[in-house]
Amino acid sequence: MLEFIFNIGVVTSLLPASNYSIEERVPVEFETVIGLEVHAQLLTKTKMFCGCTTPFGDAANTHGCPVCLGLPGSLPVLNREAVGMAVRMGLAVGCSISPKSIFARKNYFYPDNPKGYQISQYDMPVCARGFLPVVVDGEEKRIGITRVHLEEDAGKLVHDQDADSLFDVNRCGTPLMEIVSEPDLRSPAEAYAYLTALKHLLEYLGICDCNMEEGSLRCDANISLKPVGATKLGTKVELKNMNSFRSLEKALNYEALRQADVLRSGGSIRQETYQWDPSTNTSVAMRSKEDAHDYRYFPDPDLVPLIVEESTVEKLRAELPELPAARRNRFQAQYGLNAYAAEVLTAAQATAGYFENTCKHYPDAATAANWIMGEILRMVNDKKVAITGLRVTPERLATVLKKVDSDEISAQSGKKILDMIEAEDKEPEAIIAERGLAQVSDVSLLETAVQQAIEANPKEAERFRAGEKKLMGFFVGQAIKLTGGKGNPKEISAIVGKMLGG
Residue 286's pLDDT is: 84
- Answer with the one of 435, 458, 485 that is the final residue of a domain: 435
Query: Is 17 inside a domain boundary?
Result: no
* Rounded (10°) angle between helices 458-465 and 489-500: 80
Whether residue 225 lies inside any domain: the answer is yes
Q: Which of 385, 417, 435 is the last residue of a domain?
A: 435
Residues 160 and 261 in one domain: yes
The span from the CA of 49 to the CA of 333, in Å, is 45
Same domain, 51 and 165: yes
Measured CA to CA, the distance from residue 20 to residue 253 in angstroms comes to 8
Number of domains composing the chain? 3
Residue 307 falls inside a structural domain:
no
| Sign of the torsion angle spanned by Cα atoms 438, 443, 445, 446 | positive
> What's the confidence (pLDDT) of residue 290?
65
**85, 233: one domain:** yes
Q: Assign residue 485 a region (left: φ > 0; alpha: ψ between -120 and 50; beta: otherwise).
A: left
Residue ranges in the chain modelled with pLDDT below 70: 1-23, 289-293, 442, 502
List of residues 6+ apart from 432 with CB closer than 8 A: 403, 408, 409, 417, 438
- The CA-CA-CA angle for residues 201, 128, 296, to 5°, reads 115
What pLDDT does residue 11 have?
34
pLDDT of residue 7: 36
Task: Note whether 164 and 214 are same-domain residues.
Answer: yes
Q: What are phi and psi of 119, to 5 degrees?
A: -80, 120
Nearest Cα residue to 233 out of 224, 244, 243: 224
From 485, 337, 496, select the one nearest 414 (Cα to Cα): 485
DSSP H helices, 38-131, are: 66-69, 80-92
Domain check: are 373 and 466 in the same one? no
Residue 391 CA to residue 371 CA, distance in Å, equals 15
Residue 10 resides in a domain: no
Contact 83/42 with Cβ under 8 angstroms? no
Distance CA(107)–CA(92), nearest Å, equals 31
> Can you give the pLDDT at residue 63?
96
For 242, phi then psi, to 5°, come to: -100, 100
Domain edge (last residue) among 403, 435, 467: 435
Instruction: Specify if 24 maps to a domain.
Output: no
The verdict on 118 and 244 lying in the same domain is yes
Instruction: State the sign of the Cα–Cα–Cα–Cα dihedral 357, 347, 151, 55.
Output: negative
Q: 308 lies in a domain? A: no
479: domain CATH number is 1.10.10.410
pLDDT, residue 16, reads 41
Residues 368 and 275 in one domain: no
Q: What is the pLDDT of residues 303-316, one digit of tens each?
A: 999 999 999 999 99
Same domain, yes or no: 76 and 37? yes
Q: Are residues 198 and 251 in the same domain?
A: yes
- Co-location of 279 and 421 in the same domain: no
- 240 and 326 in a single domain? The answer is no
Identify which of 406, 403, 474 has the alpha carbon closest to the alpha carbon of residue 415. 403
Q: Give Rg (Cα) of the chain.
A: 30
Say how far apart CA 343 and CA 327 lie, in whole Å: 9
- Whole-number pLDDT of residue 488: 80
Inter-residue contact 328 to 140 (CB < 8 Å): no
CA distance 163 to 179: 37
Give a yes or no: residue 248 inside a domain. Answer: yes
Q: Say how far apart CA 500 and CA 458 lie, in whole Å.
A: 11
DSSP for 31-54, written as a single string: EEEEEEEEEEE---SB-SSSS-B-
- Is residue 141 located within the same domain as residue 170? yes
Whole domain around residue 368: which residue ranges? 322-435
Look at residue 6 and tell me if it is in a domain.
Answer: no
